[in-house]
Amino acid sequence: DRSFSHDPSVVSEMGSHFIHALQGKGVAACAKHFPGHGDTHLDSHLSLPTVHHSMERLEQIELEPFAAAITADVAAVMVAHIVAPAFGGEPVPASIDKEVIGYLRHTMGFQGVIATDDMEMGVLHHFAPTRS
């Protein structure tokens, strides 16, 4: 288990405290893996997991800790290599999905650094442009 809890309100509270502690000492905090990787069953280093939840469910559970992190002025958000169809974009990893990035930036109001997970993860080679 790599989260503070399975309860989004606990994750939100603990994450906010952690962000304030890190950034209070000059270390930039990063909230990850947007839009929520905890409910997937595949390893995104090897395959492309899909989060099949509705937007309503995502907003109530998965996105709550990210909203709290943004309120806590987190310096960066890392976007995961997972598919999240509820955002309405193409069936591509969230890390390269303009709908997911747009939601984070415009709907959630995050103005800090947006980063992706490791760009050399195996699943991304399916989405790389071809060279001529």
Catalytic positions = 45, 117
Under 8 Å between Cβ of 50 and 40: yes
Q: Which of 66, 64, 80 is nearest to 110 (CA)?
A: 66
- Beta strand 30-34 pairing with 76-79: parallel
| CA angle, residues 7, 11, 12, in degrees to nearest 5 | 115
